[in-house]
Amino acid sequence: MILADTSVWIEFFRGKNNRLIQKFRSLLDDDQIALTSPVRIEILSGTPKNEVLRIGRLLAALPIFYPEKTTWSLIEKWVEEGKEHGDNFGVVDLLIAGISQENNLALWSLDSDFGRMKKLGWVNLFAPQA
């Protein structure tokens, strides 16, 4: 299963990146896409008012992963490790990465912050085949 970050959802909804759309649809059809609660909230927050209910129903069909108490402990440790390497990350990105790591799920993102997290050994990034 693959956790799709908000950046991937945005590209999917924009409908301009045909390769991403095709791969995303294929993974959706194969029940391989999951959400984290922070991504769900980010998507709904950026959705126009007249689309929130429809998009919310669509997202409800997907498996959703939530942060646990252990997730918060993990990301607190990562904040310290990141600072040792001269890196800082946003709370939402840390939550997404922590949920991904704790559930042994690949993370699909277009956000370079997750690439930096991968270098630190925190996430397994999904790289769609060309």
Q: What is the CA radius of gyration of the chain?
A: 15
pLDDT > 90: percent of the chain: 95
Q: What does each C-alpha distance from 29 to 24, 46, 52, 73, 100 come to in angstroms?
A: 9, 24, 22, 34, 21
Chain center to CA of 78: 17
Residue in this structure with the two tokens 């946003």, named with its chain if needed: 90
Given a contact cutoff of 8 angstroms between Cβ atoms, the answer to whether 35 and 6 are in contact is no
20-76 confidence digits (pLDDT tens) = 999 999 999 999 999 999 999 999 999 999 999 999 999 999 999 999 999 999 999
Given a contact cutoff of 8 angstroms between Cβ atoms, the answer to whether 111 and 93 are in contact is yes
Q: Is 106 helix (H, G, I), strand (E, B) or coil?
A: strand
101-121 confidence digits (pLDDT tens) = 999 999 999 999 999 999 999
Given a contact cutoff of 8 angstroms between Cβ atoms, the answer to whether 4 and 108 are in contact is yes
User: pTM for the full model?
Assistant: 0.93
Long-range contact pairs involving 19-28 (C-beta distance under 8 Å, separation at least 24)? 19/128, 19/130, 20/128, 23/128, 23/129, 27/2
